[in-house]
Structures are given as C-alpha cells and as structure tokens.
Chains A and B, each alone.
Chain A
Amino acid sequence: MSEIAAYRAKEGGSMRSYTVGFIISIGLTIAAYLLVTQKILSGWGLVYAIIGLAVVQLFAQLFFFLHLGRGPNRKWNFVTLILMLIIVFIVVAGSLWIMHNLNYHMTPQQMNQYMRQQDGGI
C-alpha cells in the first residue's frame, strides 16, 4: 500500500480527489442548466455566467481529474497548457473580432441591426 501512498504524493489521484472533482462538476453543470431553464438571467449576463461556470469546471477537472500541477512533468505540462491557451485565445478572439467586423462592413442592409446590437443588449 505504501507504493500507492507514495504514488499519490507524487502523481496525484486518490478517491477523495476524484470524488470531490465529480461533485463539484455535477454542481456546476446543474447550476448552469438551472440558470438557463429557470430563466434566472438573460442576455449577456447569462452568457458570462454560464461561460464562467464552464471555466470553473474546466479548472476543477484539470486539477481533480487531470492532476495538473502534480507528477514528474508538471512544469512542462503547465507550460504547454499556457502556450495553448494563449494561442487559442488569440485565434478564437481574433477570428470572432474579424468575422464580426467583416459582417458589419459587408452587409449594409444589416448595418442597422448591428448598430442596434452595439447600442444595447442582444
């Protein structure tokens, strides 16, 4: 059994870790579901809330299921994760900005619609 304890200390992963992660994830999932179905929030507030919940669940699962921050490769795992997140942010945010901008400038008949969107709500 000491091999497992030693492993747990080195690599992470234990019954407790998986169970806590599981319960947190269920909670976050149901919370997001209820926010939508019970119409507790709407518009951009809802979007930020459920994306926020998703990001929290991402970190919960990264830590409790994928044991990020533990194990022999933890430094390089973290470095590659950060690099990936930076690139993903740039490419996704950049693409959304570009495509929205193109739509705005390329569809004059919808320009009124976009201008209304910019000014308030969805």
Chain B
Amino acid sequence: MQIKIMQNVLQANEKKAAEIRTLLQQKKIFMLNLISSPGSGKTTLLEKTLPLLKEKYKVAVIEGDVETDKDARRLEKYGVPIALINTNGACHLESVSIEKAFSALDMDNLDLIFVENVGNLVCPAEFDIGEDAKVAILSTPEGDDKPMKYPLLFREATLVILNKTDLLEYVDFSLPNFYADIKKLKSDLPVIEAACKTNLGIDKWVEWLEAQIAKKKAR
C-alpha cells in the first residue's frame, strides 16, 4: 500500500527560522549571516566594522565556531555584546543555535546582529537561521571559480564581499572570470571589492549596512 506523505524534512529548522524572523521583525533588529571559508576574513571584517557602527547603532555579534573562543576574544575589545556558540563538531549553525544565543543578548536593545557562521562554504548556505540577509565573503587567494563551485551560497547571498583584493597581483584570481560567473549565477548580486587590512571597501560595506538597517526600521 502506497501512502503519500509530502513532508519537508527541513521543516523543524525552517519553522524555528520563521519564528526568529518574526521576532526580529517585531524588535526591528537587522540580522546578517556572514558565511565564508575559514580564513576569508569574516572576523577581520567585523574588527573593521564594529568601531564604525557601535556609536550610532546597538550592535551584537553571535559568534559560531567549532571550537575555541578565539574569534570572540578578538572582538571583545570593541565593547559590543558577543554570544559565543561552540558547535563542538557541527559544521554550521542552525536556527536553534541562534535562538539559544538570543537568550544571552538583550533583544530589547539592539539594532543589528552579525552572525559569524562557522567557516564553511557548503553547509551554512543550506540552513535558514532567520536572518535578513546572507553575506558571502570570498577572498582572492581562494580562486575565482568558487561561485560556480558553491552555487547554493552565491544564489542565497544578498551581497558578496570580495576580500584580500590587495593580494590580486600575487594570486591567480581573474576579476573578469569571477564577474562573468556571478553574472550567470545571479546577475543582480552586488559585489564589494575589499581589502580589510587596508580598509579598502569598508566604507561601501558600512554604507550598504546602514541602508539595510534603515530599510528594516522603516518596514
């Protein structure tokens, strides 16, 4: 006897993500999910961004790592609340992890939450955590072929930050090839060329962030 079920296997995570999304809408908090390979520059980007935003906005960071509090410690000096999630093996964050992190934050007093996801181009893209936007960070030493090799992330992303452009002369990264692939995969995907070490592109990134926060507050 055949029995039809048609149940979404990811339902539990998606239901919780929807609850998070509703909560963030109620509290008018803009939440970003930063996704990249390990070492692309997520934490450095936050180190550059937090000092520029924290005077004007109430910012918090949810820091996801398999092990250690190294990233959380790097960000401590910027004086924003940080909720650390050690996954102890899980390669990505899920919405239940975010809900848990919220209990460590003052959700009535925030404008912006950065989720620094576990360094991984594959799995974090699969899981909705209730964010307003996914930002993909790719660095030039990783190669210009990564969007096509990791299409789900780049299809899901609202913005790409291309970091370490200061290393372009030393690595085999073709900007034309990269942009051609982005055009095929998601032609309206904005790219900010950056070099966190020299602050290149940080102004454009902050401008984009401020526009997103304003849009959310207006909704």
Q: Do A and B come from one complex?
A: no
Chain B residues within CB distance 8 Å of chain A: none
Chain A residues within CB distance 8 Å of chain B: none
